[in-house]
Structure 1
Amino acid sequence: MQYQLIALDVDGTLLNDNYELTERTVSTLRRVHEAGSRIVLCTGRAPESSVPIMEQMGFEGVLIAHNGAATVETPGSRLLHEFSFPIGHIAGLVQYCRAEHVHFDLNTSWKMYVEHVGEAEAAMYEKYMAVPERVDDVLALTVPIVKFTMFGSQEAMDRVERQLASFDLPSSLQAIRSGAHFIDVMLKSVSKGRALSNLSGMWGIEPSSILAMGNYYNDIDMLRFAGLGIAMGNSPEEVKLAADEVALSNNEEGVAEALMRHVCPELAGQ
């Protein structure tokens, strides 16, 4: 079966744990592209830190960023879809993070804002190729935002996740664990699956012609939407159960192996 659209999560899926894109994976992706499939990154990252991954693959085009809150076209800065909300809706959450010393950043479709960056945060932003803009008070910003992200150790995020269960978030917002060290707050209407549905509809591609791969909870609805949803071997059990099959892990080039089997079987064994 020819899959017309290949939707790929980035961290924990396309990249290994050293944040590397292997030569074998790049070669396979290029062959898949040459075979006629569109490749779309579907990531929690911002466009700023996603475009370099596309450039490493030798591609340009559309990517789904911020867990589906923004869909953009590269090169340039054309915004295809955006789901934003006023900063005032998370004023209470900002105050909580300040009081509990939880690091946070605010994201528009294109920019990231922080109030401070410590050593651990600086190392994290460097790994993700993100360059946040520092401001004294994020609540003084007047731009609409698409994502509010909290960052910390896994233990700290486990604690925040428990406390958010009783936090009085506006009914229009949701908090989702997008990684062991991250919790994202976005509109409830936002998801990778919805963004992928919007994009595939715009291109006239049926879900049955979509192959999607991911490794974390924020990938589940994307995996369920696609005709073939593949969870990585390093995924939590809940993610594996939501998928149609489980691939090798991100450290075993699971993306390349799965695409060889399902899109370019003639590459198997190479």
Structure 2
Amino acid sequence: MNYRLIALDVDGTLLNDHHELTDQTIETIQEVHDQGCHIVLCTGRAPASTLPILEQLGLEGTMITHNGAVTVHADERGQSLVNEFSFEISEIESMLAYARREGIHFDVCTAFNMYIERVGEYERMMYQKFLINPKLVTSVSELGVPIVKFTLFAQPDVLDRVQLEWEDQKLYGNLRMIRSGDLFIDVMNPTANKGNALKALAATLEIEAPEIMAIGNYYNDLEMMSFAGLGIAVENSPNDVKEAADAVTSSNNNEGVHEAIRKYCL
């Protein structure tokens, strides 16, 4: 086997569109893990909603969460923070004002918690789907603690407009704005991405980039796919992502992760 570490995006890659892991995918991941390969989930999810996926795989270890802003180690003793890229809530006040004015749903995250100011049934269903239990507060501006991610949740046409306006006005300042899904925009520390987090983790494990395979499906996966010796896009990825990848595997609904591991690792 040529690869010592496999980095896996979760939603749209590892899980199918029903947010499920298939038995065959679980068996393949366990097999490659038993042969000595590190399995690292690299996701936009928080640690609390990533851990159940890791447990379903029958594994423990390090998770890269919040799109690279937070790295956490999970074992039988619980979860411990390995690294985080944070910023101050004051840096997003102009974007908070915009979202409140336009009625666009948002949340802000620390390493282990998520905070919201309001929630409707549509947003509640989204959080349930991603196994998230956010904390309701009067104003996130009053949290007084560094945060790792600010996320907008809305329909694609709304976020398309937001993206254009915020880029035109540079409303995110020195922070980094990324489209992490059709329905999500994330604003984070400019050094926070899955690629940088994966690079730091690999260094601690003494694993070189050519020994890493990364599989993803969206623009927030590009840095980790570029860093890895083999970057693979699932078939359901946007064309830009597939063109940037070294290879393309089947879609998340057709067990693309299982197929890629079988082809390149087993």
- Alpha-carbon RMSD across the aligned residues, in angstroms, is 0.9
The answer to whether the Cα contact below 8 Å between 2:214 and 2:232 also exists between their aligned partners in 1 is yes
Number of residue pairs aligned between Structure 1 and Structure 2: 264
Structure 1 residue 170: deviation in Å? 5.0
Q: Any residues of structure 2 matched to 1:85-100 within 5 Å, and which?
A: 85-100=87-102
User: Residue type of the partner of 2:138?
Assistant: D
Structure 1 residue 153: deviation in Å? 1.1
Question: Which residue of the partner structure matches residue 174 of structure 2?
Answer: 172
User: Residue type of the partner of 1:35?
Assistant: Q
1:141 to 122, 140, 143: 143
SS of 1:71 mapped into structure 2: strand
Do structure 1's residue 237 and structure 2's residue 239 form an aligned pair?
yes
Q: Structure 2: how far apart are the matches of 1:12 and 1:170?
A: 27
Question: Which residue of the partner structure matches residue 44 of structure 1?
Answer: 44
Q: 5+ residue gaps in structure 2?
A: none
Do structure 1's residue 68 and structure 2's residue 68 form an aligned pair?
yes
Question: Which residue of the partner structure matches residue 260 of structure 2?
Answer: 258
Q: Structure 1: how far apart are the matches of 2:140 and 2:109?
A: 11
Structure 1 residue 197: deviation in Å? 0.3
Q: Structure 1: how far apart are the matches of 2:114 and 2:169?
A: 24
Q: Structure 1: how far apart are the matches of 2:152 and 2:247?
A: 31
Question: Which residue of the partner structure matches residue 19 of structure 1?
Answer: 19
Question: Which residue of the partner structure matches residue 185 of structure 2?
Answer: 183
Query: Which sits farther off after the overlay, 162-171 or 15-24?
Result: 162-171
Structure 1 residue 158: deviation in Å? 1.4
User: Residue type of the partner of 1:83?
Assistant: F
SS of 2:168 mapped into structure 1: coil
Question: Which residue of the partner structure matches residue 109 of structure 1?
Answer: 111
Structure 1 residue 177: deviation in Å? 0.2
Q: Structure 2: how far apart are the matches of 1:31 and 1:158?
A: 41
2:79 to 52, 77, 80: 77
Q: Residue by residue, what CA displacement relative to the aligned partner does 1:100-125 show, whole Å, maximum 9, x if unpaired?
A: 01100000010000000101100000
Q: Structure 1: how far apart are the matches of 2:169 and 2:115?
A: 23
Q: Residue by residue, what CA displacement relative to the aligned partner does 1:21-75 show, whole Å, maximum 9, x if unpaired?
A: 0111001000010111000000000001000000110111100000000000013
Question: Which residue of the partner structure matches residue 128 of structure 1?
Answer: 130
SS of 1:235 mapped into structure 2: coil
User: Residue type of the partner of 1:126?
Assistant: Q
TM-score when scaled to structure 1? 0.96
SS of 1:11 mapped into structure 2: helix
Q: Structure 1: how far apart are the matches of 2:152 and 2:128?
A: 16
Q: Structure 1: how far apart are the matches of 2:245 and 2:32?
A: 21
Do structure 1's residue 207 and structure 2's residue 209 form an aligned pair?
yes
User: Residue type of the partner of 1:52?
Assistant: P
SS of 1:130 mapped into structure 2: coil
Q: Residue by residue, what CA displacement relative to the aligned partner does 1:245-264 show, whole Å, maximum 9, x if unpaired?
A: 00000000000001001111
SS of 1:116 mapped into structure 2: coil
User: Residue type of the partner of 1:225?
Assistant: F
Q: Residue by residue, what CA displacement relative to the aligned partner does 1:206-225 show, whole Å, maximum 9, x if unpaired?
A: 00000000000000111010
TM-score when scaled to structure 2? 0.97
Q: Structure 2: how far apart are the matches of 1:225 and 1:129?
A: 29
Structure 1 residue 155: deviation in Å? 1.6
Q: Structure 1: how far apart are the matches of 2:100 and 2:173?
A: 22
Question: Which residue of the partner structure matches residue 31 of structure 1?
Answer: 31
Question: Which residue of the partner structure matches residue 155 of structure 2?
Answer: 153
The answer to whether the Cα contact below 8 Å between 2:172 and 2:187 also exists between their aligned partners in 1 is no
